[in-house]
Amino acid sequence: MLRLERRPQPSRVWVWATPVLAVCLTMIAGGILFAILGKDPVAAIRMIFWDPLFSQQFAAFSRPQLLVKAGPLILIAVGLAIGFRAGIWNIGAEGQYIIGALCAAAVALAFFPSGPADVRLFGTVLFSFDAAPSRWWLFPLTIVAGAAGGFLWAMIPAILKTRFNTNEILVSLLLVYVAEKLLAAASVGWLRNPQGAGFPGSRNLSQFPAVANPEILPGTGMHWGVAIAFVAVIFGYVLLHRHMLGFHVQLAGQAPRAARFAGVAPARLVVFCLGISGLLAGLAGMFEVTGPARMITIDFNVGYGFTAIIVAFLGRLHPVGIVLAGLLMALTYIGGELAQFMLGLPSAAIQVFQGMLLFFLLALDMLSNYRIRLAYREAA
């Protein structure tokens, strides 16, 4: 009979070995799946894991794209991880992401020059005009608006929890749906592009240089959101591992009663954890809407807030782990797209593949925290 025994310390070897093992197992299981679907399993696996990184054809473009895709995931996941360590479950980051983007877009659009920045026909710029003088403060203001939006949206579950003891998992989740409806209302209503021929969606913020969030260095995928994500990772690491507050967070998660004796105020911790994760999610929304996504649309949110929860756990709630987990998830998205149009794999197969990868990672994670022992059956 097999028995699990908790390790006093997580195993150093297995902490690194399990992700590798999980990826290998996923390749085998995924290969079987692809073979059943009539595709060449080796080619499919290579397409997903290898080509975005190393193929001559794609790598130059795909590698920077990993950062673009992983950036918001990492930024949100770092914030979530702080709360998760304290046992405070914000699963509504998707909603905070949406509200952050909405607030940022609203501020940016309030200052949008009355006409388009340049008028083009078939690629030739007919004439350009700069209605807005260089307003250097506008981009920072937009950032503040995005952060504030996410923060305040997260304050709803925080305040309800501290005031009325309402479960934050559920309130934050419910608020995702409210945020989605607000997004739809904004896209067809108050943020709609007046020159957009009536289509839902806001103006193109990337054409508004004062608020646009383009690549800092062209061709690197590095936009301000990615940069801030890495800042957040460092901040998260220092906070969790080098700061008293981080100690309190850990203590509250592992031994709530002891934390109270140590002088941790539970209410303040709730406000802090939800606030920081909401703020970072709002920032992610802001950098996305002014950068890669360019505008508010009905389907602006593509699930970063939920995927970030998975990323946080895959990264074992450790900032550095989150970076790796975020990049791995991004790789499966980008490689998955390649496999779709190069090999004709349905997107559902990629979803199943990602699901299996997560299952294996979560399942094998046990090895770093537990020892497997052979034991005789004990009398119950």
Partner 1 sequence: MMDLSSINPVVLVAALMVAATPILLAAIGELVVEKAGVLNLGVEGMMITGAVTGFAFAVTSGNPYLGMVAAATGGALLALIFALLTQYLMANQVATGLALTLFGLGFSALLGQGYSGVSPPRTPRLDFGWLAEIPVLGPIVFRHDPLVYVSIIIVAAVWWFLRYSRAGRILRAVGENHDAAHALGYRVRMVRVAAIAFGGACAGLGGAYLSLIRVPQWTEGMTAGAGWIALALVVFASWRPWRALLGAYLFGGIVTLQLTLQAAGWRIPVEYLAMAPYLVTIVVLVVISSGRARRTLAAPGSLGRPFHAAG
Partner 2 sequence: MKRRQLLAGTALALGLASGFGTVALADDPLRVGFVYIGPVGDQGWTFIHDQARQEAEAHFDGRIETTYVESVPYGADAERVMTQMALSGTDMIFATTFGYGPDVNAVAARFPNVAFEHATGYLQEEPNVSLYNARFYEGRAVIGHIAGRMTETNTIGYIASFPIPEVVMGINSAFLHARAVNPDVNFRVVWVYSWFDPAQEAAAAEALIEQGVDVLMQHTDSTAAIRIAQERGVLAFGQAADMSAAAPDVHLTAIINQWAPYYIERIQARLDGTWEARNTWYGIGDGMVGIAPLHERLPDDVRAEAEGMIAAISAGEYHPFTGPINRQDGSPWLAEGEIAPDGDLLGMRFFVEGMTGDVPN
Name the binder of 61 from partner 1, partner 2, none, CB < 5-8 A by kind.
Answer: partner 2
Q: Are 269 and 252 in contact (CB under 8 A)?
A: yes
Least spacing, CB of residue 352 vs partner 1, in Å: 4
Name the binder of 268 from partner 1, partner 2, none, CB < 5-8 A by kind.
Answer: none
Instruction: Return the number of the residue (64 or 253) whose C-beta is nearest partner 1.
Output: 253
Name the binder of 370 from partner 1, partner 2, none, CB < 5-8 A by kind.
Answer: partner 1
Which residue ranges make up the site for partner 2 (CB under 8 A)? Answer: 57-58, 61-62, 65, 68-69, 117-118, 120-125, 128, 181, 184, 188-189, 196-201, 204, 206, 209, 218, 288, 291-295, 297-300, 302, 334, 337-338, 340-342, 344, 346-348
Instruction: Return the number of the residue (128 or 220) whose C-beta is nearest partner 2.
Output: 128
* Alpha helix ranges (H) inside 93-223: 93-110, 138-164, 168-188
Separation CA 305–CA 73 (nearest Å): 7
Name the binder of 170 from partner 1, partner 2, none, CB < 5-8 A by kind.
Answer: partner 1
Name the binder of 304 from partner 1, partner 2, none, CB < 5-8 A by kind.
Answer: none
**Phi-psi region at 337: left, alpha or beta (left = phi > 0; alpha = psi -120 to 50):** alpha
Q: Cβ-count burial of 263 within 10 angstroms (0-12 exposed, 13-18 middle, 19+ buried)?
A: exposed
Candidates 323, 319, 320, 309; CA nearest to 362 is 309
Q: HSE, CB side, 13 Å, CA atoms: give it for residue 295.
A: 20
Residue of the chain from 21, 144, 178, 222 that contacts partner 1 (CB under 8 A): 178
Candidates 227, 224, 206, 209; CA nearest to 138 is 209
Name the binder of 355 from partner 1, partner 2, none, CB < 5-8 A by kind.
Answer: partner 1
Query: What secondary structure letter does DSSP report for 202?
Result: -
Instruction: Return the number of the residue (144 or 342) whose C-beta is nearest partner 2.
Output: 342
- 93 phi/psi in degrees, rounded to 5: -60, -30
Least spacing, CB of residue 71 vs partner 2, in Å: 10
Q: Are 183 and 106 in contact (CB under 8 A)?
A: no
139 contributes a contact to partner 1 by CB under 8 A:
no
Q: Which residues bind partner 1 (CB under 8 A)?
A: 4, 6, 37, 89, 91, 160, 163-167, 169-171, 173-175, 177-178, 181-182, 184-185, 188-189, 306, 309-310, 312-314, 346-356, 358-359, 362-366, 369-370, 380
